[in-house]
Structures are given as C-alpha cells and as structure tokens.
Amino acid sequence: GKAAVGTWLNLASVVVADNLGHVGFDFLVVDTEHSPITQETAFHCLASIAASDAVPMARVAWNHPMPIKQALEAGAMGVVVPMVNSPEEAEIAVSAMRFPPAGSRSMGALASAYGPDYGVRFNEEVCAVVMVEHADAVKCVEDILRVKGIDVCFIGTGDLALSMGLQIGHPDHE
C-alpha cells in the first residue's frame, strides 16, 4: 500500500552495493546493461544486497532467456528487462523468469537445496519488470501490460526520445 523506493547501481563495486543496501532503500537494481558490471560482480553485488533489507534486482542487457536466467541464478529477486516492444516480447521475458508450468526457466541442481516447493515459491515472489522505451512499444503498451506476470513497467525516457527522433523534453516526447 506504499510506494517502493529504490535506486540503480551502475558502479562495479560490492562495497557500494553493500552500503546502499543499508541506507533504507526498498530495492536496488544492479544494472548490467549500461555499466561495466560483469556477471561475477553482479553475483557479489546481489549477495551483498540480499544481506540487507533491500530487495536485490538486476537489469539485464537484453530480453533473452540466458541473461535473465543468469541474473536470477546470481540472486536477483526481480529482473528489469529493457526494450520490450510487444506483448510477445513481454511473454518471453516473463516466461524466462518463472519455472514451469508458469514459465520456461530451468532449475539448476543447487535449487534442489531450497526444498521441493522452491519453484512454486519463487514464481510467487519474483518481480518481473518490463521497460517501455521505444515508440513501437508505446503503440501497444496496453497489450504489453496485459501480459500475465508483469509486475512493474518502467519508462525509458532517453531511448524513447531517440526512437521518436526527438530530444528529451520535446513536447511530443512529453
């Protein structure tokens, strides 16, 4: 019933992730799209955040099952997926975040350590975030947001302006 407040982590620093995790944010997004953060560094940052009260999340570099799975395997409890331009692309993102029968994510051997109901519990807890940041996505945004399993939609204003051939702040962009 309250707004969730968080921020993005673009610095490839576990120390920064750890410090930000303890200042009161509800969530922190480790950005692997527009930063030098590697998969290994993301793993350590997400583990640091998980040790705090903040929810560890990651923005992947592209809407493909592999980086989504890698972010989740590294400990993200939510994934931000960029450039979701159609309902079909939203379905790909949501499916990659959930175990069958709700999705297509595979379960690694380590997941069995979390108990037989891990997949069901995880499917209920993971946060699926899509980014609408292209003029094509705006045209079908209502259909995108109707996709079952989407929890949050972020608007990528910079890329949206670029796709429209405009500068941020132009009246048509607003």
The residue annotated as part of the active site, out of 34, 64, 134, 170, is 34
Cis peptide leading into residue 87 (ω within 30°): no
Pick from 89, 78, 104: nearest CA to 144: 89
Residue where the block lists tokens 């993102």: 93
Where helices occur in the chain by DSSP H, the ranges are 14-21, 39-50, 65-73, 87-97, 118-125, 135-139, 141-145, 157-164
34 included as an active-site residue: yes
Please list the active-site residues.
34
